[in-house]
Structure 1
């Protein structure tokens, strides 16, 4: 008899080794009979190479329980029946996905798997797909309470699946990774909305889940957010330490794209500490690393980063160091390159451009630039981080020249827009 390709495909989908499948079959046998089964690696090998075309009843029933399908669908043929010329098509008889969650985004994107479900790679991909929806929502609108709730709902569903489902150790780690990413979205949403205490709580959870997942990309994401949270809290030495921790995780050694972002975060921390030499060195390392990176598949959450965002971060570094002219130039470069879908980031870069213009004494241009932010957001609520930057601009403008016509016009519009957002 020929190789059992159907069984091999099912094992690959669930990422089960021969030893893991033998153990799972023996566990199912014990659940049915009270005695641990006798399946071995040799038994599984005989199934795969076709030597055993129809397992005996106890092992056959256990196999059907492990894979949640019939033995025939696993490529086995009853004794006396002719074997089909080609293996049956994939029809895994998937369980019905039940969607739930506090927002339509979570409900549409994150399935909840029923109890005693065998979970495989395709299920992990389904669960992870919801992240792309939430990341796109963040790129467009920024952090807000509904995004946080949706992300936490997604994390709960993934962890419920991990708790109730049957999966290989590798798949379980991948589930922890997906849960960590959902919680990271919630943490980032709170950072952007400047709900910093909740952000810190979520990041503690995110870091724990990333550790359970043994996923260095998830760990990088957590450290990146820790650095941003420390920046928001004005704990700049901690921000540098978190960014350096991000530099040390495994993904940065494999992919200079991630290393570039970590160096840029480090540069911002140094600039806030007024450590000019270290800040410029780090932003230079960020540019060098980005130049070495190659196009390859990466998680959707880091799609915001690239040359445009590096220019935007360079503008922050230069502004903090007092280099307003260089900050203005970097902001113009960022705005010229930012993709349209990153509306929130475009608005933030515009505010920073206005600040750089203001601190060069060009008040009328600066107020016109700052005023364009409200049009960019198109009536959407302004995230807390954006409101803070606009408040910084308003304060600096009034400090420099409260009585100038441009300042008075800005103040009138600022109060009107602020009350509506």
Structure 2
């Protein structure tokens, strides 16, 4: 069947500065706000709308589009099933009424349980419930990476943890745990912003997370926050600040009590040292990281974010980053293969990052054909992740510099134009 391009949506996106990817992120976030579960759209979904291949999105998507744009689906150029594209659109619903309805619906679903005569007691069950939601946020990060929806969801849950303390009486222990959970959610928002290369937002989240963590007294979440700060400054190309922030994490007593925390701190230090060009520091800290990991007791109880991220695959991935920064491409390739072998299936974002870096390591050794195959093997559902896209863009630049007139370079340029943009 012949399709008709949705010129109205295309024009709205151009007017408001949206790419296919940013509109998909915004709609995913709005779906999460309306339903409690993030949407699964990506840039290709929006391109299908623009091309007319999808003329009438699902109801939840239409409501989310209205939330993002302030316009009904028909006003955005979508055509209800069973109606020709030229048929007149029904009268547009008053956007004010629509927003009021959405607000009222959200408020209704969030109403507390009827108040009983006895005062509400905020207890351990509330903390357990929030920790379950935190585990979902961590799992979403591993699958999708730094999309705005994860950042917003984490901030909303952090606010819920803080606000809960004003809804009833609680013990000091539970109060501290609620501050720790709020700090954990905010640190996830911080990491989502780092992962999405929204560095100003990440610095703002760091300030809030550090404050909440200090009130909680929980050293494990303080470690995560300052370790993330080290990663933030590393991605910003500020190794001195990165080393200082990561030193705060490494100096916490939890790194002496649990060698696995020490291992992660050393491994992230190695990645930072790679930016300084200090081979001896990289080798030393990688060795410290492995020694600490070998001493760690696998049966020790640890926070969900720690058990989800810190393993031998993560240590190899950070060593890969360090060796790439040093230009030691042979060792970088070895660490990339090791990480890919050990990565858990759920770590989709990390697998894409390691694969893209493996392509860089192969190209650095002059292995153009294997490097091309590796780079093109990055799964299409994650090639537009900001960090993955940045690595692949750097790969393309390196390829053009290494072999500007080769057939491989022409093939990559075509692939980049047709698939990556």
TM above 0.5, one fold? yes
1:399 aligns with 401
Residue 377 of structure 2 aligns to a residue whose secondary structure is helix
Shift of 1:411: 1.3
State how 1:185-224 maps to structure 2 within 5 Å.
185-224=188-227
Shift of 1:310: 0.8
1:142 aligns with 145
State how 1:326-345 maps to structure 2 within 5 Å.
326-345=331-350
The alignment yields a C-alpha RMSD, in angstroms, of: 2.0
CA contact (8 A) 2:352 2:382 kept: no
1:353 aligns with 358
CA contact (8 A) 1:103 1:149 kept: no
* Deviates most, 300-309 or 112-121: 112-121
Shift of 1:331: 0.6
Shift of 1:288: 0.5
Shift of 1:171: 0.7
1:104 pairs with 2:36: yes
State how 1:288-307 maps to structure 2 within 5 Å.
288-295=291-298, 296-302=300-306, 303-307=308-312
Runs of 4+, deviation exceeding 3 Å: 100-103, 110-116
**In 2, distance between residues paired with 1:103 and 1:261?**
36
CA contact (8 A) 1:111 1:157 kept: no
1:368 pairs with 2:373: yes
Structure 1: any 5+ residue segments left out of the alignment? 1-99
CA contact (8 A) 1:113 1:161 kept: no
Decide which structure has the larger Cα Rg and report it: 1
1:113–1:180 distance in 2 versus 1, CA, 3 Å: farther
1:258 pairs with 2:261: yes
**In 2, distance between residues paired with 1:190 and 1:403?**
38
Shift of 1:164: 2.5
2:319 aligns with 314
Shift of 1:112: 8.4
Equivalent of 1:269, from 260, 272, 279?
A: 272
State how 1:1-400 maps to structure 2 within 5 Å.
101=33, 104-105=36-37, 116-295=119-298, 296-302=300-306, 303-373=308-378, 375=379, 378-380=380-382, 382-400=384-402
**In 2, distance between residues paired with 1:291 and 1:221?**
21
**In 2, distance between residues paired with 1:357 and 1:312?**
16
Equivalent of 1:418, from 394, 413, 420?
A: 420
Deviations, residues 135-178 of structure 1 (Å, cap 9, x unaligned):
11110111101111111111111111023321111110100000
> Paired residues, what number?
315
**In 2, distance between residues paired with 1:125 and 1:253?**
27
Residue 234 of structure 1 aligns to a residue whose secondary structure is coil
Shift of 1:382: 2.6
Deviations, residues 246-290 of structure 1 (Å, cap 9, x unaligned):
111122111111110100111111110111111210111001000
Residue 361 of structure 1 aligns to a residue whose secondary structure is coil
**In 1, distance between residues paired with 2:121 and 2:311?**
39
Residue 120 of structure 2 aligns to a residue whose secondary structure is coil
**In 2, distance between residues paired with 1:367 and 1:111?**
51
**In 2, distance between residues paired with 1:304 and 1:118?**
34
